[in-house]
């Protein structure tokens, strides 16, 4: 039977990696080869750190070899050269030879990337639904009294005895109008499923966005580089909403640049490997649109909050840009992902399902 071991290991849906007592790789099964983008021949005899990096589950393997105890690490990142990084659960169990002496370890690897991505989509959906409820609540509670306040202020303005009173009443009217405009923006969250799908040429939308940014003083802050994937076909989407999304992302990127030689890279890729569930069981490939800037980056401490409505670090920001962008992307059944390095830059990725016209 023992000569069948490689075939048995290859039949497992989990990855299996065997290391010797010195932490050198001995064998990988087929799934482990896929996860690590390599083969047993290429890595046999090499220390585990050389293959999976010094962090991640290599540490767990070393700990198991040193202590003789099993351990499980959840969702550790496996950096990969060709395809995107993976998240895996790694279960490390020490092995013993016939005499019961420690002799290497076996690592079970389970790819968690899909699960993590699904959880992220679920979180976004739940967040968007909660936001919708809050927004309609605000609509009801704030809109009505606002109308009353405006009317009363206009009356006061007409009856004002002095120029000073008139100016004060005018100020009230102006500020009420400002709140109403802000509320209009915010109310978008309350209207679910309001996008109108039509065939859209994504690159034309992006070019329109670049035209708008070019005539904006902000445009002078950085050089824009376009890398469009010509194989992306027309997709069903709401061009106006997408325009708003991309404009907000472009503005944020340019606003993050302090010197004049910043760059804003806008690239698109067809992602046949990354499929999005449209909610009816239909899974379609996706399109990634990346806005990558060389700006100030987002400090770790605020990264979780940037897409929360009204969160802003800018003196004149409303903090609605990213929240709206995320909302519209979620309405398209897409995902908005932010990666950032403080002081180096930020990449915001919009993943949209490639819905095709029937």
Ligand X SMILES: Nc1ncnc2c1ncn2[C@@H]1O[C@H](COP(=O)(O)OP(=O)(O)OP(=O)(O)O)[C@@H](O)[C@H]1O
Residues that bind ligand X (CB under 6 A): 248, 252-253, 256, 293, 295-298, 306, 311-314, 317-323, 346
**CB closer to ligand X out of 318 and 337:** 318
Name residues whose C-beta falls within 8 Å of residue 214's C-beta, 6 or more positions apart in sequence: none
**CB closer to ligand X out of 73 and 240:** 240
Token readout for 172 is 């009230």
Least CB distance from residue 312 to Mg ion, whole Å? Answer: 8
**CB closer to Mg ion out of 60 and 320:** 320
Select from 245, 236, 241, 244 the least CA-distant residue to 200.
236
Least CB distance from residue 90 to ligand X, whole Å? Answer: 33
308 contact, one of Mg ion, ligand X, none, CB 5-8 Å limit per kind: none
In the chain the first and final C-alpha atoms are separated, in Å, by: 54
306 contact, one of Mg ion, ligand X, none, CB 5-8 Å limit per kind: ligand X
Among residues 108, 250, 265, 321, the one that binds Mg ion under rule CB under 5 A = 321
Q: Bridge partners of 111?
A: 88
The answer to whether the CB of 104 falls within 8 A of the CB of 21 is yes
**Near Mg ion in 237-256, by CB under 5 A:** 252
- Asked whether position 346 contacts Mg ion by CB under 5 A, the answer is no
Q: Judged by CB under 5 A, which stretch of 35-43, 106-114, 209-217, 319-327 contacts Mg ion?
A: 319-327
Burial class of residue 10 (count of CB atoms within 10 Å of its CB; 0-12, 13-18, 19+) = middle
- Tell me the C-alpha distance between 110 and 5, whole Å: 19
**CB closer to Mg ion out of 61 and 131:** 131
Least CB distance from residue 308 to ligand X, whole Å? Answer: 8
- Tell me the C-alpha distance between 279 and 281, whole Å: 6
**CB closer to Mg ion out of 236 and 247:** 247
- Tell me the C-alpha distance between 115 and 343, whole Å: 31
Q: SS3 of 22, please?
A: coil
Q: SS3 of 111, please?
A: strand
Number of residues that bind Mg ion (CB under 5 A): 2
298 contact, one of ligand X, Mg ion, none, CB 5-8 Å limit per kind: ligand X
Least CB distance from residue 190 to ligand X, whole Å? Answer: 18
353 contact, one of Mg ion, ligand X, none, CB 5-8 Å limit per kind: none
Least CB distance from residue 100 to ligand X, whole Å? Answer: 57
- Tell me the C-alpha distance between 172 and 168, whole Å: 6
The answer to whether the CB of 212 falls within 8 A of the CB of 247 is yes
The answer to whether the CB of 251 falls within 8 A of the CB of 210 is no
Q: Bridge partners of 27?
A: 18
**CB closer to ligand X out of 107 and 335:** 335
CB atoms within 10 A of CB 293: 27
Least CB distance from residue 215 to ligand X, whole Å? Answer: 18
Q: Judged by CB under 5 A, which stretch of 117-125, 154-162, 273-281, 321-329 contacts Mg ion?
A: 321-329
Binding residues for Mg ion, rule: CB under 5 A, are: 252, 321
């Amino acid at each position: 039977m023992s000569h069948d071991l490689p075939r048995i290991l290859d039949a497992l849906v989990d990855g299996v990696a065997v290391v010797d007592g010195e932490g050198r790789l001995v064998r990988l099964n087929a799934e482990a080869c896929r996860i690590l983008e390599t083969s047993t021949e290429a890595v046999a005899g090499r220390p585990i750190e050389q293959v999976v990096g010094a962090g991640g589950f290599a540490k767990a393997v070393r700990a198991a070899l040193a202590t003789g105890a099993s351990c499980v690490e959840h969702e550790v990142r496996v950096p990969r050269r060709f395809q995107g990084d993976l998240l895996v659960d790694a279960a490390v169990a020490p092995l013993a030879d016939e005499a019961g002496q420690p002799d290497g370890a076996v690592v079970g690897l389970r790819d968690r990337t899909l699960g993590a991505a699904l959880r992220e989509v679920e979180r976004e959906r739940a967040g968007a639904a909660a936001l919708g409820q809050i927004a309609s609540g605000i609509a009801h509670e704030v809109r009505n009294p606002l109308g009353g306040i405006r009317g009363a202020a206009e009356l006061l303005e007409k009856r004002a005895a002095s120029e000073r009173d008139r100016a004060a009443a005018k100020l009230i009217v102006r500020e009420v109008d400002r709140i109403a405009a802000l509320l209009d923006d915010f109310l978008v969250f309350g209207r679910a499923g309001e996008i109108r799908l039509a065939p859209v040429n994504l690159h034309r939308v992006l070019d329109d966005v670049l035209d708008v940014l070019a005539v904006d003083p902000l445009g002078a802050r950085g050089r824009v580089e376009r890398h469009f994937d010509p194989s992306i076909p027309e997709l069903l989407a709401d061009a106006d909403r997408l325009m708003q999304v991309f404009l907000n992302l472009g503005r944020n990127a340019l606003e993050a640049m302090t010197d004049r030689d910043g760059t804003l890279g806008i690239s698109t890729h067809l992602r046949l490997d990354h499929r999005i569930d449209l909610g009816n069981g239909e899974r379609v490939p996706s399109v990634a649109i990346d806005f990558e800037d060389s700006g100030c980056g987002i400090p770790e401490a605020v990264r979780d909050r940037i897409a929360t409505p009204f969160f802003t670090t800018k003196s004149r920001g409303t903090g609605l840009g990213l929240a709206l962008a995320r909302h519209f992307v979620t309405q398209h059944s897409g995902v908005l992902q932010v990666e950032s390095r403080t002081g180096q830059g930020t990449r915001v990725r919009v993943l949209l399902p490639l819905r095709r016209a029937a």
